């Protein structure tokens, strides 16, 4: 399979890229941090610099993917940012930046990837349980609403792209122990509180989320469409 992964330089994106590369797929590693993307990609896989919040950059980056692969069979949108300011202290600038990356960035990548996909292709967006429950901490208002938007966007994309034979799903991780979450997890009290919100009493790892994304991108999930796969250690139960 020819696969593009955004946010492939670290965290969930890096774990997913390494897993899929190890399984023999062609993987384009896209990240704002090009040296990090190159470390993950290694030899034989393209590493592409991109700020997903910038339309011209996304168009250029997926043009590079097309040039490298000739088309695309799967996409995982792992790029994202996080904020921990309180509701009252969240500025419009903060709110816009989070939504520029998490919402507009996801949309741009979906649009550009879908344009080079054939029937049978698959897309997995990365949302969060914060989008399902409105956040889990006193802050995260911008992050939670952005991930709620990703959930809605994914369902819309599934409606639009399903008739074209392109399957679209999302994964909603809980708090995963990555550099992405290093800020809040650096406070022992916050870390203990979050761990206590799970049934397992611990945080997840990127390596536990990557196989779930890989499955959603695989033919084994051929009839899974418009779905949200929650991977949060039991933080949110329906």
pLDDT at residue 213 is higher than 70: yes
**Integer CA distances (angstroms), 181 to 3, 10, 12, 142, 148, in order:** 26, 12, 11, 15, 18
Alpha carbon distance 18, 36 (integer Å) = 12
Domain positions in the chain: 2-231
Q: What is the chain's alpha carbon radius of gyration, rounded to the nearest angstrom?
A: 17
Q: Which of 82, 143, 223, 238 is catalytic?
A: 143
CA 144 from chain centre, in angstroms, equals 14
Alpha carbon distance 194, 198 (integer Å) = 7
Tokens for 171? 């994964």
Tokens for 122? 């698959």
The topology (CATH level 3) of 2-231 is Rossmann fold (3.40.50)
pLDDT digit string (tens) for 125-162?
999 988 887 765 555 889 999 999 999 999 999 999 99
Q: Which residue has the tokens 């939670």?
A: 144
Verify whether residue 143 is a known catalytic residue. yes
Q: Which residue has the tokens 């049978």?
A: 120
Higher pLDDT, 134 or 210: 210
Q: What is residue 182's predicted lDDT score, i.e. its pLDDT?
A: 62
Number of Cβ atoms within 10 Å of the Cβ of 70: 9
pLDDT at residue 1 is higher than 80: yes
pLDDT digit string (tens) for 19-68?
999 999 999 999 999 999 999 999 999 999 999 999 999 999 999 999 99
pLDDT digit string (tens) for 83-124?
777 788 889 999 999 999 999 999 999 999 999 999 999 999
């Amino acid at each position: 399979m020819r696969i593009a992964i955004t946010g492939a330089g670290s965290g969930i994106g890096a774990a997913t890229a390494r897993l899929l590369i190890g399984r023999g797929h062609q993987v384009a590693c896209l990240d704002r941090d090009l040296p990090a993307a190159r470390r993950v990609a290694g030899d034989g896989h393209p590493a592409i610099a991109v700020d997903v919040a910038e339309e011209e950059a996304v168009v250029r980056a997926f043009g590079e993917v097309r040039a490298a692969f000739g088309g695309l069979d799967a996409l995982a949108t792992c790029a994202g940012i996080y904020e921990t300011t309180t509701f009252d202290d969240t500025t419009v600038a903060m709110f816009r930046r989070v939504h520029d990356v998490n919402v507009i960035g996801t949309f741009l990548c979906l649009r550009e990837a879908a344009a080079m996909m054939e029937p049978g292709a698959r897309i997995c967006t990365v949302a969060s349980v914060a989008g399902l429950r409105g956040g889990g901490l006193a802050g995260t208002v911008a992050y939670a609403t952005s991930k709620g938007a990703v959930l809605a966007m994914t369902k819309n994309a599934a409606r639009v792209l399903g008739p074209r034979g392109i399957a679209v799903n999302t994964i909603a991780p809980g708090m995963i122990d990555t550099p992405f979450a290093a800020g809040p997890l650096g406070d022992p009290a916050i870390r203990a509180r979050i761990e206590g919100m799970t049934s397992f009493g611990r945080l997840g790892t990127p390596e536990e989320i990557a196989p779930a994304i890989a499955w959603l991108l695989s033919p084994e999930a051929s009839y899974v469409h418009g779905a949200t796969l929650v991977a949060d250690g039991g933080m949110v139960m329906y």
